[in-house]
A = this chain, B = another copy of it.
Amino acid sequence: MMDANKPVSPSGREAILEAAEQLFSEQGFAGTTISQIAERSGQSGSLVIFHFKSKKSLYKAVKASIVARYSACLPEPIEEVEGLHGILRNLMRAMFSYYRNNPTMVRIANWANLEGDHEAWGGESDWHHRYVGQIEAAQRRGEIRDDISPFRALIIITGAIHVWWEFHDHMLRDLDQTDTPDAADECFFHDLEAVLVRGLGPGQ
């Protein structure tokens, strides 16, 4: 009789998937070996292959599982949100919590980008288009300046946040003055919002 709920201690297959996700995110595909995955998951190397056929397809399974697990967390299409302030806060808050809560996904996406993997991150494109649409609508309502393309406005917003996380450690080590990482995130959020509200606002 199958138990529909997640088991308390993960099955062998689950343990492998989890260990693989960690290791791929730390070291990338080429930098990770099946033995490492076996060791960290407490399973044997042959079991890894038994469950997933090949290293390559395990990698795909990891990505698929991430997408399945987190696509629900992607910024929701909160249609009622209006106004530059609302759109900005909504988008920024969603991205911040997204990046904060999914460190392995962020890293794997970065590896995948370098490796030339341009598929599979399915939801992302929809997500972009949805926000582009929101920005366009706000422009029509006169809430966002309309001399900037909505596509590029979105990149400016998301780019700053993306880079903040991509070089998080690097920046805190090198340049930041704040005490704790959390405080640094807060400050960045605050300053970025201030710049964007004014930079994207209407009027001249």
Given contacts A110-B114, A170-B113, contact A177 B151 (CB under 8 A): yes
Assess the B156–A160 pair: CB atoms within 8 A: yes
A48 interfacial contact with B, CB 8 Å: no
Chain A: interface size category: 35 or more
The interface residues of chain B lying within 8 Å CB-to-CB of A132 are 175
Expressed in whole angstroms, the Cα–Cα distance for A194 and B113 within the complex equals: 29
Which B residue sits closest to A166, measured CB to CB?
B113
- Please give the distance in Å from A170's CB to the nearest CB on chain B: 6
Expressed in whole angstroms, the Cα–Cα distance for A171 and B90 within the complex equals: 22
Q: How many copies of this chain does one complex carry? A: 2
The interface residues of chain B lying within 8 Å CB-to-CB of A31 are 28-31, 115
Which B residue sits closest to A161, measured CB to CB?
B159
The interface residues of chain B lying within 8 Å CB-to-CB of A169 are 118
Q: List 15 A-B contacts (CB under 8 A).
A: A30-B30, A110-B114, A125-B174, A147-B194, A151-B177, A153-B195, A155-B171, A155-B188, A158-B163, A159-B160, A159-B162, A160-B163, A194-B199, A197-B199, A199-B200
